[in-house]
Amino acid sequence: MTALYIVRHGETRDNLEGRIQGHTDSPLTPLGIRQAEAIASRLASEKFDAIYSSDLGRAVDTAEAIASCHNLPIQTTDLLREANLGKVQGLTQAEFESSYPDEYRKWRTDSVSNRPPDAESLESVISRCKKFLKMILENYKDDERILAVVHGGSVRGLFCATFGLPPTFFKHIRTANASLSIINIGERPSVELLNDTCHLWEVRVTEEDADNAGALE
């Protein structure tokens, strides 16, 4: 089986302020940088055959901290981006409610079926992640290890794509900033680790998740 190590990016300024990020970008906070350094230290002794990252800056910055311990380039891809949350990107939840009260109410009720204005569907997120997994399986051997630095929504998308889970499963997965998850992908996929944060005990675990579908539930 091909092992996929999945890291969520470190805390960002928008995470700290409770803003909905989606495809917008926000720099890592000082804490987010320390979280990235902590997961880099955690993974320093691992052997990876490739390092991939979402092309959004917060993921790339986290990936760079990890890649500094390995002699590998970072391969960026938009397939691993967070869900595009349309017109509410950059807003706080209170601003979302004020600007789009009906859409906000419906999203709180069912964030899978009721997306924010102009937002990407969760089916689309899963489809992107499925394309990424297909690319990995086509280009790497069964015993190789791949690192992917992603977002809360794309962690969910990768799990759903790997195990054939429906979009409704999104609300059942939570991941902290700079957490580590590991799945084996292929014909008989399995989970080795989910949302592990032991490397953050001396830093701080944060779970600000306003940029992710289902965060309001």
Catalytic residues: 9, 82
- Residue 27: how many CB atoms within 10 A of its CB? 12
- Taking the C-alpha atoms of residue 6 and residue 134, their distance in angstroms, rounded to an integer, is 16
Rg for the chain (alpha carbons), in Å? Answer: 16
- Residue 45: how many CB atoms within 10 A of its CB? 7
Inter-residue contact 181 to 6 (CB < 8 Å): yes
Inter-residue contact 70 to 51 (CB < 8 Å): yes
- Taking the C-alpha atoms of residue 203 and residue 181, their distance in angstroms, rounded to an integer, is 18
Q: Is the dihedral of CA 21, 125, 182, 163 positive or negative?
A: positive
Inter-residue contact 116 to 55 (CB < 8 Å): no
- Taking the C-alpha atoms of residue 203 and residue 31, their distance in angstroms, rounded to an integer, is 8
Instruction: Report DSSP state, residue 29.
Output: P
